[in-house]
Amino acid sequence: MPDKVMPGPVSDCGGIREAVCIHTRKIYDSCRDKDCVEDLRFYPKLQYVDVINRALSVKGGSAKLLYVYVDVEPVSFNRGFYTVDMRFFYSVTLQAYLSCPAPVTVEGLCVFDKRAILFGSEGNAKIFSSELRIGEPDIQQMRRANAPIAVVEAVDPIVLDARILDCCGKRECDCDLCEVPSFVNSCFDGELSSGDDSRRIYVTLGQFSIVRLERDSQLLVPVYDYCMPDKECSCGSGNEDPCGIFRNISFPVGEFFPPNTVRLPENYEETKNFCSCCK
Give per-residue pLDDT as tens, 140-172. 445 466 788 999 999 999 999 999 888 764 444
What is the 8-class DSSP label of residue 114?
Answer: E
Nearest one of 138, 119, 26, 127 to 75, comparing CA atoms: 119
Pair 151, 212: CB distance under 8 Å: yes
Pair 23, 208: CB distance under 8 Å: no
User: Which residue has better confidence, 17 or 13?
Assistant: 17
Percent of the chain with pLDDT over 90: 28
pLDDT at 261 over 50: yes
pLDDT at 89 over 90: yes
Nearest one of 135, 42, 19 to 93, comparing CA atoms: 42
User: Which residue has better confidence, 5 or 86?
Assistant: 86
> What H or E segment, with its residue span, contains residue 217?
strand 199-223
What's the pLDDT at 88? 94
Write down the pTM of the prediction: 0.71
